[in-house]
Chains A and B, each alone.
Chain A
Amino acid sequence: MASNLGAQTTIGGTLKDTKGLPIAGVSIYLKDTYDGATSDSSGKFSFKSLEKGEQLLIATSIGYKPQEIKLTIQDAPFNFDIILKEEINELKAVVITAGSFEASDRKKATVLNSIDIVTTASANGDVTEAIKTLPGAQQVGESEGLFVRGGTAGETKIFIDGNLVNNFFYTSVPNIAQRGRFSPFLFKGTVFSAGGYSALYGQALSSALILESIDLPERSSANLGVSFLNVSGGYQHLAKNKKSSWGVGYGYSNLDLAFRLIKQKQDYFKMIQSHEGDANFRIKTSGSGILKYYGSFSKNGLGFRVNSLDTLNYKDAFELGNFNMYHNLSWRENLNNGWKINLGASFTDNNDDISGSIQNQQNEEVLLSGLEFKNFDLKTNGLFFNAKAVIEKKLQGLSALRFGTEYNRSTDRADFTMYNGQEFPGTIKEDLNSVFAEVDIYVTNNLAAKIGSRMEHSSLLNKYNLAPRLSLAYKVGQQSQASLAYGIFYQNPERRYLPAISDLGFTKATHYIAQYQKVASKTTFRLEGFYKKYEDLIKTAFVNGRELADNNNGFGEAKGVELFWRDKKTIKNFDYWVSYSYLDTKRDFLNYPTAIQPGFAAKHTSSLVMKKFVTGLKTQFNASYNFASGRPYYNIRYDNNANKFSIFDEGKTINYNSLSLSVNYLPNVFNQGANKFTVFVFSVTNVLNTRQEFGYQYSYNGVRKQAVVPPARTFVFLGAFFSFGVDRSHESIDKTLSLRL
C-alpha cells in the first residue's frame, strides 16, 4: 500500500529501429505492473506510474527483439530513447534462392504449389510437365524427364522426402514421353533447382527436383474417379485423435477407347493398360515428429508397331511389360535444444520385359539380313535401396548447421538376347556412400550465406569426389534481393552406357549463378543469369552394336539468361505467369565428333500460363502457351574411312508451339457441410492442331530421315471425380488428371 502514497512518475521517450526510423505499436511497460503504454506513429510513448525503486522497463513488438532496461524510479521523470533490433525471422529474412524455384505451401518463396501444378493446362496433372513452364527447363516432347540448362534428362535427379528416386517415370518408350508415376498431390512442397543446389543432394550434374510428401489428411474420405481412360477408387482414414492415418488406392487404365477416338501414329497390338495400387500410413510421433510410409505398385504394358524407316514396307514393333514397386519410409523429429533429425529410406524394384522386332505387312516377325540387330529381347531388374540421415542444429537466429550421410545401393541386371538366341547377361552393382555438411549463416536479416560440401565414394568407379557449394543472398529492398551461387557437382556415368569399356571417373559440372528477385505478396519477378562448365563427360563407342561408355574425355559449357514473372494481382481471380529462357550451349559427349549444340537444347524457350476462376459459373479456365525455337538434329555415324564418328547430315526442326486449354467445373464448390464433392475436368492439348517436331530420326544407313512427332497432334480428356466425406476438390482435379494420357 505504501507505494500508492507516493507521487506519480512520468516515463516517456521514443522508440526507433536501428536505422533511426520510429516504430509504432510497441508495448512498453514496467515488468509485473499494469503501468505502460503503446508507442504512437512517431514512436513516442509516455505513461505515469506510482511504482518506486528498482524496476524493469520492457519494450516488445511483433518483429523486433524485446529490450529490457533496468531503472531506479525516484521522483524525476524519465525520458528514454530506445532502439529495437529487428528479429531475424523467416518471413522477413533474406532467403537463399539462387538457382531454385520453391513451390510449396510454406510461407517463404512460394512460386508454384500443387494446385498450380494440376491446373496448368499443358501439364495434364504431371509434376514435371508443370515444371517445364518454369525457366531453365526445355520443351522436350520425345522423351520424359527434365532437360535443364543444357543438361540431359539424366542430369536431373528427383528426390522424395530427401531420398533419391529411381524410375520416377514410367519406362521409356521410343519417341513417346512418359509420365511420372507420382501424383502431384502426394506432395506438399516442390523445389525445382535449376542449379547451385544444396550439399544435401548429389548425383545430379544439372538440376534437382526436391519433393516433400504430405502429412496427415484433413479428414477421412472415400473417392471415386471415372474417365474414358481409367477408373480409380481410394479411401483415406484419419484416426479419431488425429494422430495417425492410413489409406489405400487402386486404379485401372486402358487406353483402348481413347485411342479409338483419338487416332494415334502408332498401331497398338497390345493396348496400354495398367493396374496401380498404393498404400500409406502416417503417424505423429510427437508434437513435431511424424513417421510416414508410402508404397505403390504398378503393372503395366503396351505394344505397338510403326512403319520402319530402315526398310520400306516393313514395320518396327516394340513391346513392353513393366512391374514396379516403390516403398518410402521417413521419420522427422525435433529433439531438444534446437536439434532436428530426418531419417529416410526407400526401396525400388523395377522389372522391364522389352522386345523389338521387324514385322512384315502381315504383322509377322521376320529376320532381315543386315537388320538382325532390330530383333532383340531385353529383360531387366533394377533393385535400388537408398537411406539418408540428416541432422540439423539450430544456431543463433535463423542460422543452422546440417550434416549427415547417405547410402545408395543399386543392382541392375540386364539380360540381352540377340536375334539368334545368343545371350548377354550383365549385372552392374554400385555402392555409393556420401557424407555432407552445410551451414546457413544469417549475418543479419539482410545477409545470409550457405556454405556446404559433399563427399562421395563410388564402389563402381572406385573413386572419391569432393564437391564444395556456396550461396549468398543479400536483401536489397523491402521485397527484393540479390543472390549468388557457386558449386561443383558430380555424377556417375549413366547406367545405360555401362559396363564401360575402360575405367571411368565421375562426370563433373561447375555452376555459377547470379540472380535478382522481387517477391511481393501477389507478384513475383525473377531474373537469373548462369554459366555452367562441364568436364569429364562420357564419350561412347560401339561394341557389338551397343553404345558403351569409353572414356571421360567429353566436355561442354552452357550459359544463359532467364526471366520469370507471375502476377495474381492485376486482374481479379486471374493468375498468370510468363517465363523465358535464353540458352547458349555446346558439348562434346557420347558419340559427338566435336562440341556442338545438342539436339535437346533450344536457344529460346518461353511459356505463358493463365488461370481464371469464374465464380458465377463455378468453373476454372486454364490456358498455357509453350514455345521453343527450333532444335538442331544430326545424323552422327561412324565413318569407317576416317575411323571416327562424323556428322553426315544436320538440320533444324521447326519452332515448337503449343496451346493447351483445360476447364474444371466444380458444381458444389465451397458448399460447406456438403458430404459429396464432384469435379468435372475437360482438357485439350495443342488446341490449334499445330505441327510439332521433336527432332529427326535417321535410318541406320542415313539414307532416309523422318521427323519425330507426337503420337497424336491433339489430345482430349474428359473425366469426373467424386469424393465422399470431405471437400477434396483440388485432389480430385488431380486424380482425374493424373492418368497416363
Chain B
Amino acid sequence: MKKINFLLLSILFSVSVFSQSEKYMKTMEARVVNVETTRTPDDLKELANAFERIADAEKNQWHPYYYAALATVNVGYASMTPQGGDAKIIDPIADKAESLIKKAETLQPANSDIFVIKKMIASLRMMADPMNRYMKYGPEAQQALEAAKKLNPDNPRIYMLEGQDKFYTPEQFGGSKEEAKKLFALAMQKFENEKPASSIDPNWGKATTEYFLKQVN
C-alpha cells in the first residue's frame, strides 16, 4: 500500500512538474524567438521585464535570467546616441544587467554564453565614457571574451562580437574591415554547426552576423 501510494505520489508530482515545465518551455520559446528581432529600447525593456518575471517565478532556471540580462544590455546599446552614451543613463542599466547575469551564473556556472553577456556589459560601460573608461573596461571586456572562448571555443557569438569590435574601431586604432570580415565568416561557420542543447538555449546572432557580412562585402 505504501509502495503504491509512493508511486502515485511520484506520478502526480512528475505530472505537475511536467505541466509546469511545459508552460515554462512554451512561454520561453515564444519570447526567445524575439530576442534578435526586438530593437527599440521600449520593446527591449518589455522583453527584459517578461523574462525577469519568468525568472523570478521559476527561481531555479538560468535561461530566463540570461535572456533578461541580454535584453537589458541591449536596452543600453539601443539608448546610445551617435554622440555616445550618458553614464548617468547607461550605468543603472548596466548595473541591472549585471545583477541579472550574476543570478544566471549562480544557477549555471562556467557557461560560455554568460561570459558573452559579461563582455557586452563591460563594453557598454566603456562606451558610456570611452576616454575615461577604456583603461578599466577594455581589459575587462577582453578577459570576459577570453573566458567565454576557453569554455566553448565553438560559441559563434564570441567571433561575432570580436568582428563587431574590429568593424567599429577606426583603422588607426587597430580596427580593420578585413579582419572583421574574417571573424564574421568564422562566426557564420560556427553558427552552421551550432546545436543548441534545447529550444531555449542561446542560439541568437546569425541574423546579426549576416547583416554585418553584407556591410563588409
Residues of chain A touching chain B, judged by Cβ–Cβ distance below 8 Å, are 1, 24-25, 27, 29, 31-38, 40-41, 62-63, 89, 91-92, 105, 107, 110, 113, 115, 218-219, 521, 569, 615-616, 618, 669-674, 727, 730
Within 8 Å by CB of A670, from B27, B86, B139, B173, lies: B173
Shortest distance in angstroms between B20's beta carbon and chain A's nearest beta carbon? Answer: 11
Shortest distance in angstroms between A395's beta carbon and chain B's nearest beta carbon? Answer: 22
> Which A residues are in CB contact (< 8 Å) with B165?
672
Cα–Cα distance between A671 and B174 once the two chains are bound (Å): 5
B49 & A107 in contact (Cβ 8 Å cutoff)? no
B174 & A672 in contact (Cβ 8 Å cutoff)? yes
B153 on interface, CB distance cutoff 8 Å: no
> Which A residues are in CB contact (< 8 Å) with B57?
32-34
A36 & B53 in contact (Cβ 8 Å cutoff)? yes
B45 on interface, CB distance cutoff 8 Å: yes
B174 & A670 in contact (Cβ 8 Å cutoff)? yes
Within 8 Å by CB of A38, from B19, B49, B91, B174, lies: B49
> Which A residues are in CB contact (< 8 Å) with B134?
670
Within 8 Å by CB of B92, from A37, A40, A62, lies: A62
Closest to A670 in B: B173
Cα–Cα distance between A219 and B86 once the two chains are bound (Å): 28
> Which B residues are in CB contact (< 8 Å) with A35?
53
A-B CB contact pairs (8 Å), 28 listed:
A25-B49, A27-B49, A27-B52, A29-B53, A34-B23, A34-B54, A35-B53, A36-B53, A37-B49, A62-B92, A62-B96, A89-B92, A91-B91, A105-B133, A115-B132, A219-B139, A521-B88, A569-B83, A615-B173, A618-B172, A669-B173, A670-B169, A670-B174, A671-B174, A672-B165, A672-B169, A727-B138, A730-B135
Cα–Cα distance between A110 and B87 once the two chains are bound (Å): 12
B194 on interface, CB distance cutoff 8 Å: no
> Which B residues are in CB contact (< 8 Å) with A37?
46, 49
Q: Mark B48-74, 1 if CB is under 8 A from A, else 0.
A: 011011101100000000000000000
> Which A residues are in CB contact (< 8 Å) with B87?
107, 521
A218 & B132 in contact (Cβ 8 Å cutoff)? no
Within 8 Å by CB of A91, from B50, B92, B136, B170, lies: B92
Within 8 Å by CB of A24, from B42, B54, B133, lies: B42
> Which B residues are in CB contact (< 8 Å) with A107?
87, 91
A36 & B135 in contact (Cβ 8 Å cutoff)? no
Cα–Cα distance between A569 and B91 once the two chains are bound (Å): 20
The 7 nearest A-B residue pairs measured at CB? A670-B173, A27-B49, A38-B46, A521-B86, A25-B45, A671-B174, A29-B53
Closest to B133 in A: A105
Shortest distance in angstroms between B118's beta carbon and chain A's nearest beta carbon? Answer: 15
B32 on interface, CB distance cutoff 8 Å: no
Shortest distance in angstroms between A223's beta carbon and chain B's nearest beta carbon? Answer: 15
B93 on interface, CB distance cutoff 8 Å: yes
B131 on interface, CB distance cutoff 8 Å: yes
Assess A25 versus B50: contact at CB under 8 Å? Given A33-B57, A219-B139. no
B169 & A218 in contact (Cβ 8 Å cutoff)? no
B132 & A113 in contact (Cβ 8 Å cutoff)? yes
> Which B residues are in CB contact (< 8 Å) with A63?
92
| Dominant secondary structure of chain A at its interface with chain B | loop
Given contacts A29-B49, A92-B88, 18 further A-B contacts (CB under 8 A): A27-B49, A29-B53, A31-B56, A32-B56, A33-B53, A33-B57, A34-B57, A36-B49, A38-B49, A91-B91, A107-B87, A107-B91, A218-B136, A615-B170, A669-B172, A670-B174, A671-B174, A730-B135
Cα–Cα distance between A46 and B6 once the two chains are bound (Å): 43
Q: Which of A24, A38, A91 has the most CB of B within 10 A?
A: A38
> Which A residues are in CB contact (< 8 Å) with B50?
34, 36, 38
> Which B residues are in CB contact (< 8 Å) with A674?
174
Shortest distance in angstroms between B2's beta carbon and chain A's nearest beta carbon? Answer: 26
> Which A residues are in CB contact (< 8 Å) with B131?
115
> Which B residues are in CB contact (< 8 Å) with A31?
56
Residues 148-180 (chain B) with a chain A CB within 8 angstroms = 165, 169-170, 172-174
> Which A residues are in CB contact (< 8 Å) with B52?
27
Cα–Cα distance between A521 and B23 once the two chains are bound (Å): 45
Shortest distance in angstroms between B119's beta carbon and chain A's nearest beta carbon? Answer: 14
A671 & B173 in contact (Cβ 8 Å cutoff)? yes
Residues 85-122 (chain B) with a chain A CB within 8 angstroms = 86-88, 91-93, 96
Assess A38 versus B45: contact at CB under 8 Å? Given A91-B91, A107-B87, A730-B135. yes
Shortest distance in angstroms between A28's beta carbon and chain B's nearest beta carbon? Answer: 8
Cα–Cα distance between A110 and B170 once the two chains are bound (Å): 28
> Which B residues are in CB contact (< 8 Å) with A25?
42, 45-46, 49
B88 & A91 in contact (Cβ 8 Å cutoff)? yes
Cα–Cα distance between A141 and B186 once the two chains are bound (Å): 60
A34 & B91 in contact (Cβ 8 Å cutoff)? no
> Which A residues are in CB contact (< 8 Å) with B49?
25, 27, 29, 36-38
Within 8 Å by CB of B42, from A34, A36, A41, lies: A41
B93 & A62 in contact (Cβ 8 Å cutoff)? yes
> Which A residues are in CB contact (< 8 Å) with B53?
27, 29, 33-36
> Which B residues are in CB contact (< 8 Å) with A671?
173-174
Shortest distance in angstroms between A664's beta carbon and chain B's nearest beta carbon? Answer: 14
Cα–Cα distance between A307 and B8 once the two chains are bound (Å): 109
Cα–Cα distance between A92 and B53 once the two chains are bound (Å): 27
Q: Mark B161-205, 1 if CB is under 8 A from A, else 0.
A: 000010001101110000000000000000000000000000000
> Which A residues are in CB contact (< 8 Å) with B132?
105, 110, 113, 115
Closest to A41 in B: B42
Cα–Cα distance between A62 and B94 once the two chains are bound (Å): 11
Q: Mark B123-143, 1 if CB is under 8 A from A, else 0.
A: 000000001111110110010
